[in-house]
Structure 1
């Protein structure tokens, strides 16, 4: 199973990616986690990424594409993977298409989680408090949500046109949301 999990920040992508990864026994790959690891360990990549995230900006495509391509080529992805937080714009969709072609792979599905802006803001404020994340200031959160609406949300139409999009309400019981995703994924994959 090779899939993308998409949606605005705070919708629960990371939580659902982890549950799906366990269910399908494939790695969940979060570009955000990769960057946070590098930032925490003050690697050159981390310091470069920090210069963007501290201002509420997204890390440039060139940096992100390189990390994703290297990660998808690792041995543990042979049976599939879940990408969380990528692609986030049209250029990255093209980059991902090229990566998959190089690897002889294709996407099985794109899961889009949805929630209202008020729910997202509440969740991210709680996450910032619990995890002490410097990139979850109210200003940075608002900027990331605006960027998502402008650059990433339109990508859902691309995947809908390809017949890969599965939309799920991201509000409610975490396990019930996960079960809904699994049922829709399994039905979608059987149908194709």
Structure 2
């Protein structure tokens, strides 16, 4: 089973590259952001619980995120593997994911971090906000999300680096070129 973590700050291209990787490798995509947005749109109990947290640009508590992620994995028992997009965001989440996968006789195969500087991120998200109108892409929320990433989330990388599972890929440039660089890394897994 191929289990990948696609890592990067908001606007790094995780969603774009995930779609291409899913098609190539037949993986099941798990984006915590997409799952949260679906719950919010459908006004589920979880959606109501996390709506304000996300609207404020904060991270959803680990316990809620992990339970939701485990449920998503359990709902796809025949998957060839998973691509985790936007998760884990804390070392505690990474440890919980490892423990859950181990209890299901699998593990994270590798972690690929899309490396994109803050100036490029700001430009990409401003453009995405014009197109999609996503509330979490508004300028004030974006600044908080980028600060959250560089202040907290980036600290997950040494956790995977210590397991020799981390590879960084330049996330700036042509989408196809970035994809080819990603697949060159993933094909080694």
Contact persistence 1:111–1:165 (CA under 8 A): yes
Shift of 1:37: 0.8
Where 1:83 maps in the other structure, the secondary structure is strand
Asked if 1:58 is matched to 2:59, the reply is: yes
User: In the alignment, what sits opposite 1:16?
Assistant: 17
Structure 2 unaligned residues grouped into runs of 5+: none
Cα RMSD (Å): 1.2
User: In the alignment, what sits opposite 2:136?
Assistant: 135
Where 1:168 maps in the other structure, the secondary structure is strand
Superposed counterparts of 1:1-192, under 5 Å: 1-75=2-76, 78-187=79-188, 189=189
Divergent runs of 4+, >4 A: none
Q: Matched residue pairs, number? A: 188
Contact persistence 1:26–1:79 (CA under 8 A): yes
Contact persistence 2:28–2:80 (CA under 8 A): no
Shift of 1:77: 5.2
Where 2:152 maps in the other structure, the secondary structure is helix
Structure 1 unaligned residues grouped into runs of 5+: none
Within 2, Cα distance between the matches of 1:77 and 1:92? 24
Contact persistence 1:73–1:103 (CA under 8 A): no
TM-score (norm 2): 0.95
Where 2:135 maps in the other structure, the secondary structure is coil
Contact persistence 2:6–2:14 (CA under 8 A): yes
